[in-house]
């Protein structure tokens, strides 16, 4: 699947790029990752043995600034997937106008099988191997699937040991006590929520009439569901890696979250007394969740979950991509024809990297913002970016993804031109 994901990502860039009116050389440059580093990480396990884990960091394109993007810990992470994710970061940062290029990293590991100490040694080992390419001015990691602020804290600490200086700007999504930003914890879900608020204004929705299904109940999915629930949207389905639950009357998201914290799985919520008393519900699989008759479907877990195999069964009016790459490119046109509108990942989940940018700015200036400032500035960027994409899509009858990519290509193209094309293509390892 992962090799297919990268080829799919390239095909989409080529297809949209060909009619975006951008210099063909710029589109060609996006076909080639600048650099992908692969490393073996030896980790001393608690039983005294040593295990080796394969790790990646891709700096895809730096036309707009230092490369930026999260680090994923997952048993299926591999080079093509990391490259696809880094390409999407390049486009995402350009869509929301951040002064960053795109990067991404990952380790092929099932973190659920490691102890806390093993996880810490693994994370520190990653930084030792990647220390030559990450830095506050070069490549700035952040959290992604199955990584979190604690891991970012260990990584920053290791980097500071290596460089013998304080360097909070080398990584974002850190604990607040180490220079993290207020508001980074829920920024990805909040950014998606802000996109939905824009849709609400355009369509005059009454939130309590709108049914939402959310696949994935982690950092992105949970906060999106929580904020929508607080506004009165009906969250009718929720899932995690082990399956999901469904109820037409909608769930009280905070109590599902509480049960998930206790049991470690959403499905275990099924028929727990506190939830059963509230609402009748049944268990569903992750595949069934995608096919529910809802107004908004929020895939917030992994890539490639909507493709030719199930596109005919998708009934949602809107797909808001909190996950990176949940829809494969070969169904873009089918969804557009069926008038199933997609708010693409490169816009819908850009709240996370936007607040990461705020964190980096705060670290560099040494001045911490309050939560209201973070959220207000996030709101401005999300609303402006959403409307730029929406207006272009409407005025030229494009899908929102096509419009978002077109805007990104124009911005990247302008920067490439300003660098002086020959130099940019010959040496761009800053
Ligand atoms: N954390 C962030 O700031 C950002 C995350 N994203 C994207 O959002 C998606 C989710 O990331 P996070 O929420 O950060 O990860 P997370 O690690 O906090 O949560 C992942 C969630 O997905 C569930 N999951 C895993 N495998 C699944 C499967 N096969 N089917 C259904 N659910 C499954 C997990 O149980 C968990 O609930 C990813 O695609 C990530 O790249 C995008 C932008 C920023
Ligand atoms: O916060 C960041 O810098 C990057 C988050 C990320 O990996 C993503 O947007 O996919």
Nearest to 195 by CA among 396, 402, 385, 405: 385
Q: Over 60: is that where the pLDDT of 273 sits?
A: no
- At 88-117, the pLDDT tens digits run 999 999 999 999 999 999 999 999 999 999
- Assess whether the C-beta atom of 215 lies below 6 angstroms from ligand 1: yes
Sheet holding 67-74, edge to edge: 35-44, 50-61, 101-108, 67-74, 139-143
Q: Over 90: is that where the pLDDT of 426 sits?
A: no
- At 282-293, the pLDDT tens digits run 899 999 999 999
pLDDT-based confidence at residue 358 (cuts at 50, 70, 90) = very high
Interface pTM (ipTM) of the complex? 0.98
Q: How far apart are CA 118 and CA 85, in angstroms?
A: 26
- Whole-number Å distance, alpha carbon 300 to ligand 2 midpoint, is 14
pLDDT, residue 361, reads 98
Q: Where are the beta strands (DSSP E) in 216-287?
A: 234-240, 243-246, 282-284
Range 234-258 burial, b when 16+ CB lie within 10 A, else e = bbbbbbbeebbbbbeebbebebbbe
Nearest CA to ligand 1 atom 6: 323
Nearest to 125 by CA among 9, 183, 10, 41: 41
> CA dist 192 to 17, 53, 102, Å?
25, 33, 20
Cut 0.90: pTM above it: yes
- At 46-74, the pLDDT tens digits run 999 999 999 999 999 999 999 999 999 99
Nearest CA to ligand 1 atom 30: 241
- Assess whether the C-beta atom of 83 lies below 6 angstroms from ligand 1: no
Residue 104, SS3? strand
Mean pLDDT of all residues in 244-249 = 93
- Whole-number Å distance, alpha carbon 44 to ligand 2 midpoint, is 29
Q: Over 60: is that where the pLDDT of 264 sits?
A: yes
> CA dist 116 to 50, 141, 302, 313, Å?
16, 21, 24, 41
Q: Over 80: is that where the pLDDT of 134 sits?
A: yes
Range 269-284 burial, b when 16+ CB lie within 10 A, else e = bbeeeebeeeeebebb
Sheet holding 243-246, edge to edge: 282-284, 243-246, 234-240, 211-215, 296-299, 318-320, 341-343
Which residues line ligand 2 at a C-beta cut-off of 6 Å?
68-70, 89, 92, 142, 144, 172-173, 324, 349, 352-353, 356
Beta bridge partners of 105: 57, 71
- Whole-number Å distance, alpha carbon 416 to ligand 1 midpoint, is 32
- In the structure encoding, which two tokens stand for residue 420, read together? 């002086």
- Whole-number Å distance, alpha carbon 124 to ligand 2 midpoint, is 20
Rounded percentage of the chain residues whose pLDDT exceeds 90 = 87
Catalytic center residues: 104
Among 76, 183, 301, 305, say which to mutate for ligand 1: greatest number of ligand atoms within 8 Å of CB. Answer: 301
CATH tag for 187-348 (out of 3.90.226.10, 3.10.20.90, 3.40.50.720, 2.40.50.100): 3.40.50.720
Residue with the bigger pLDDT between 9 and 421: it is: 9
- In the structure encoding, which two tokens stand for residue 337, read together? 């024809």
Q: Can you give the residue ranges of every domain in the chain?
A: 5-178, 187-348
Mean pLDDT of all residues in 281-308 = 95
pLDDT-based confidence at residue 129 (cuts at 50, 70, 90) = very high
Contact 94, 407 (CB under 8 A): yes
Nearest CA to ligand 2 atom 9: 353
Same fold, 5-178 and 187-348: yes
- Assess whether the C-beta atom of 144 lies below 6 angstroms from ligand 1: yes
Residue with tokens 């996880």: 119
pLDDT, residue 398, reads 92
CATH tag for 5-178 (out of 3.40.50.1970, 3.40.50.10860, 3.30.360.10, 3.40.50.2000): 3.40.50.10860
Beta bridge partners of 46: none
Residue with the bigger pLDDT between 302 and 172: it is: 172
pLDDT-based confidence at residue 277 (cuts at 50, 70, 90) = low
Contact 184, 172 (CB under 8 A): yes
- At 179-216, the pLDDT tens digits run 999 999 999 999 999 999 999 999 999 999 999 999 99
pLDDT, residue 53, reads 98
Among 143, 146, 151, 218, say which to mutate for ligand 2: greatest number of ligand atoms within 8 Å of CB. Answer: 143
Among 69, 174, 224, 347, say which to mutate for ligand 2: greatest number of ligand atoms within 8 Å of CB. Answer: 69
Angle at 317 between CA 313 and CA 321, to 5 degrees: 90
């Amino acid at each position: 699947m992962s090799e297919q994901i990268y080829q799919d990502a390239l095909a989409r860039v080529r297809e949209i790029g060909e009619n975006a009116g951008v210099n063909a050389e710029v589109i060609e440059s996006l076909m080639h990752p600048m650099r992908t580093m692969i490393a073996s990480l030896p980790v001393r396990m608690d039983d005294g043995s040593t295990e080796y884990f394969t790790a990646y960091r891709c700096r895809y394109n730096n036309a707009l600034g230092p490369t930026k993007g999260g680090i994923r810990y997952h048993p299926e992470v591999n080079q093509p997937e990391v490259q696809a994710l880094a390409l999407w970061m390049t486009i995402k940062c350009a869509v929301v106008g951040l002064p960053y290029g795109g990067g991404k990293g990952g380790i092929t590991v099932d973190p659920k099988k490691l102890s806390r100490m093993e996880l810490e040694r693994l994370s520190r080992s990653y930084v030792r191997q990647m220390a030559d390419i990450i830095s506050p001015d070069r490549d700035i990691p952040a959290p992604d699937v199955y990584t979190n602020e604690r891991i970012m804290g260990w990584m920053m600490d290791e980097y500071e040991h290596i460089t013998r200086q304080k360097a909070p700007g080398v990584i974002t999504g850190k604990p607040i006590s180490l220079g993290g930003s207020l508001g980074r914890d829920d920024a990805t879900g909040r950014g998606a929520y802000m996109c939905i608020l824009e849709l609400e204004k355009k369509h005059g929705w009454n939130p309590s009439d709108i049914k939402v299904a959310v696949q994935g109940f982690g950092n992105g999915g949970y906060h999106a569901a929580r904020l929508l629930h607080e506004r009165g949207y009906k969250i009718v389905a929720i899932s995690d890696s082990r399956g999901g639950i469904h109820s037409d009357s909608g769930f009280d998201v905070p109590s599902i979250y509480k049960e998930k914290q206790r049991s470690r799985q959403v499905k275990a919520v099924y028929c727990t007394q506190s939830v059963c008393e509230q609402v009748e519900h049944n268990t569903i699989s992750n595949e069934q969740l995608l096919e529910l008759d809802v107004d908004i479907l929020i895939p917030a877990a992994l890539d490639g979950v909507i493709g030719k195999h199930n596109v005919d069964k998708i009934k949602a009016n809107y797909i808001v991509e909190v996950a990176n790459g949940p829809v494969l490119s070969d169904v873009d046109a089918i969804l557009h024809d069926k008038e199933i509108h997609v708010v693409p990942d490169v816009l819908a989940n850009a709240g996370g990297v936007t607040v990461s940018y705020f964190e980096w700015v705060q670290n560099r200036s040494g001045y911490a913002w309050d939560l209201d400032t973070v959220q207000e500035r996030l709101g401005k960027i999300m609303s402006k970016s959403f409307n730029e994409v929406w207006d272009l899509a409407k005025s030229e009858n494009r899908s929102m993804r096509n419009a978002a990519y077109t805007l990104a290509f124009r911005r990247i193209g302008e920067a490439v031109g300003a660098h002086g094309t020959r130099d940019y293509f010959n040496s761009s390892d800053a």
